[in-house]
Amino acid sequence: MSKVLVSDSIDQAGIDILSQVANVDVKLGLKPEELQQIIGEYDALMIRSGTRVTEEVIEAAANLKIIGRAGVGVDNVDVPAATRRGIVVVNSPEGNTIAAAEHALAMMMAMSRNIADANASVKKGEWNRKTFVGTEVYKKTLGIVGLGKIGSHVAGVAKAMGMKLLAFDPFISNERAEQMGVQLVDMDLLVKQADYITLHIPKTPETAHLINTEMLAKMKPNARIINCARGGIIDEEALAVALKEGKIKGAALDVYESEPLGESPLKALGKEVVLTPHLGASTTEAQVNVAIDVAEQIRDVMLGLPARSAVNIPGLNPNVLEELKPYMQLAETLGNLVGQLAGGRVETLKVTLQGELATNKSQPLVIASIKGLLYQALRERVNYVNANIEAKERGIRVIETRDDSVKDYAGSLHLEATGNLGTHDVTGALLGDGEIRITGLDSFPINVPPNRYMLFTVHRDMPGIIGKIGSLLGSFNVNIASMQVGRKIVRGDAVMVISIDDPLPDGILNEITKVPGIRDAYTVTL
């Protein structure tokens, strides 16, 4: 049975799903070195934000097939390293949206009405109504940085509270923003005009320290900033200085550059700062949602099914994949075949999606073709996750084209590989019953099912040549399962496709190429 390691606190609903297909070990609070030591035994890893999955951990993860992040942010996972190793990384893009949005709104209100400090004061026995006079958010301007899932929900609630909404998000259209009653502005205008600023963007090299001394200096003296997105988007040192010097009014933070938050000048500040320990996703509802969502994906991948929210497999949406499934095997087979015909180092792979496959939705077939092409070199180490990256690292240029005018079959694929030993092409399609047919080879028409061992020759179409090859194979005790010849014109060039029951013995290919009229001979194993 497979083994899953759960290294952060996950709702039992997720553990129950994983237990259907695997032995589940829950080990919380592992240090990176400890994780590195044990990860080799596991097929899957389920985490939240607490576990750092570094390149070293991934290097040590000899059997790992999937990393499931029960939440949104995958910045604690070295995704490129996982991709290179062919490990699927999945998350739960929507399971905690509401929880995170409501936490940001709660932080805004807590700051405005001094809830946290007023509560602490009453509990100390004080009754201090003057110190805790607050501000209303009604008619104030809220600047939302990142108008994605969480930012949009915040916008909807804030609108209902009577706030004026500005947003900065270069990837959102004006129409979409208008529908939400939000005015899209640039970051400069947003920080200058907002009374409240709330961050809902991922942590990336572009967003690291987006809120720095310079940005803080542009804000209004009454501005309050909320970060329930990711630590490190705000420069915490600069924020502490701005708050201390009264450059801005307040800050409410749920996430920090380093978690748990250790020594920090923010802790020394008074009621102008509200701090929570990364609680954005910590609601009962969100934890059930994300645990089920991610555990189901891990279970599916263990059962050989696609994951619905893989962050490192482009375009592999499960609905589309279901439709394409029969063609994925065709693409892999053709990729493997053309790679072996090309022989040496392939420089360019041209994939033409033909007939009804000539749509955007068929893009996974390109990935499957690359996977097939690289199979001889990488065997099981190439998969849908890393096929693209492996091709890039080998300098293989992949060109995708579409041709819906090809009508021989409902859908067909044409692959052309060019390398240091020349160019070869193969075409293939599916029969009505889903059976794979190779329908073209080096532009010659053929119609053969793929076979484990095959021999292809390019030869002059002349009497006697087929007999000679047959006798030669017989003399080496090679049994022929089927044979077919394809030609374009009589007595021109032709191809011969022979399916054989066993691998071709050493030396025989050389003998075949010596037969008069044979131009080339190739043997492949599929």
Ligand X SMILES: NC(=O)C1=CN([C@@H]2O[C@H](COP(=O)(O)OP(=O)(O)OC[C@H]3O[C@@H](n4cnc5c(N)ncnc54)[C@H](O)[C@@H]3O)[C@@H](O)[C@H]2O)C=CC1
Residue 424 in contact with ligand X, rule: CB under 6 A: no
- Please identify which residue in 280, 306, 440, 450 interacts with ligand X, judged by CB under 6 A: 280
- Please identify which residue in 44, 66, 72, 387 interacts with ligand HPV, judged by CB under 6 A: 72
The number of CA neighbours under 13 Å toward the Cβ of 155 is 25
Site string for ligand HPV, 34-63 (x = CB under 6 A): --------------xxx-------------
Beta bridge partners of 89: 67
Catalytic residue among 259, 285, 323, 393: 259
Q: Is 278 in the active site?
A: yes
Nearer to ligand X, 91 or 386 (CB): 91
State the DSSP string of 37-67.
HHGGG-SEEEE-SS--B-HHHHHH-TT--EE
Closest distance of CB 164 from ligand HPV, Å: 28
Q: For 140-190, where are the E strands, in sequence order?
A: 141-145, 164-168, 183-184
Q: Which residue is nearest to ligand X (CB)?
A: 148
- Please identify which residue in 8, 169, 236, 425 interacts with ligand X, judged by CB under 6 A: 169
Instruction: Pick the closest to residue 167 from 191, 145, 149 (CA basis).
Output: 145
Closest distance of CB 11 from ligand X, Å: 15
Torsion angle, alpha carbons of 66, 360, 204, 269, to 10 = -90
CB 195 within 8 A of CB 164: no
Rounded to 10°, the helix 115-123/97-112 angle is: 70
Chain residues 128-147 in contact with ligand X, contact rule CB under 6 A: 145-147
Chain residues 75-114 in contact with ligand HPV, contact rule CB under 6 A: 96
Site string for ligand HPV, 246-285 (x = CB under 6 A): --------------------------------x-xxx---
Chain residues 210-229 in contact with ligand X, contact rule CB under 6 A: 228-229
CA distance 21 to 23: 7
CA distance 119 to 127: 10
Closest distance of CB 281 from ligand X, Å: 4
Query: Tokens 């991709």 identify what position?
Result: 83
- Please identify which residue in 64, 72, 274, 291 interacts with ligand X, judged by CB under 6 A: 72
Question: How many residues are there in the chain?
Answer: 526
Q: Is 230 in the active site?
A: yes
363 binds, among ligand HPV, ligand X, none (CB under 5 to 8 A by kind): none
Q: Would you give the DSSP letter of residue 503?
A: P
Burial of 309-338, coded b for 16+ CB within 10 Å and e otherwise, reads bbbbbebbbeebbeebeebbebbbbbbbbb
Q: Which residues are catalytic, by number?
A: 230, 259, 278
Summarize as ranges the residues that interact with ligand X (CB under 6 A). Answer: 71-73, 96-97, 100, 145-151, 168-172, 200-202, 206-207, 228-230, 254-255, 278, 280-281
